[in-house]
Amino acid sequence: MSEICFICNSIPCKGTSTYKFRCELITDSCKFIKEFIKETYGDIVDLNIKKVHILGCEIELSTHCKIEAVRKVLYSVPSSHVMIETLELLENYTGIRS
Ligand SMILES: [Zn+2]
């Protein structure tokens, strides 16, 4: 039996997508997460931050939001060019800047 989604309040859940992107500085990713929570009223179903080198990280974000909404928040935070250029659905992610 599926449980009620704690974010969209529906059974079944209205559907989430998982996005992945790379971030040169973990501190910049924190600025994104803070702004994303503010803009989407906390629409984060799952969030994983994996350190990939001394300062950088990869983020996997599951949310009900469309990729355009994620991109819009990325544009609003400083030093986000690598995040914007690597943002993809998890299944399409390569980490290569477009
Ligand atoms: Zn949901």
pLDDT of residue 42: 96
Q: Give the pLDDT of residue 1.
A: 58
Give the distance (Å) from ligand 1 centre to CA of residue 96: 30
Ligand 1 mean position to 79 CA, how many Å?
Answer: 30
Please give the backbone phi and psi of residue 86, each rounded to the nearest 5 degrees, phi first: -105, -5
CA of 15 to the centre of ligand 1 (A): 6
Give CA–CA dist 8/35, Å, rounded: 19
**How many angstroms is it from 36 CA to the middle of ligand 1?**
17
How far away, in angstroms, is 97 Cα from ligand 1 center?
Answer: 30
Protein fold of 17-92: Alpha-Beta Plaits (3.30.70)
Domain ranges of the chain: 17-92
Whole-model pTM: value is 0.91
**98 residues of the chain, pLDDT tens digit each:** 578 998 999 988 989 999 999 999 999 999 999 999 999 999 999 999 999 988 899 999 999 999 999 999 999 999 999 999 999 999 999 999 98
- β strands within the chain, DSSP E: 17-23, 46-51, 57-63, 88-89
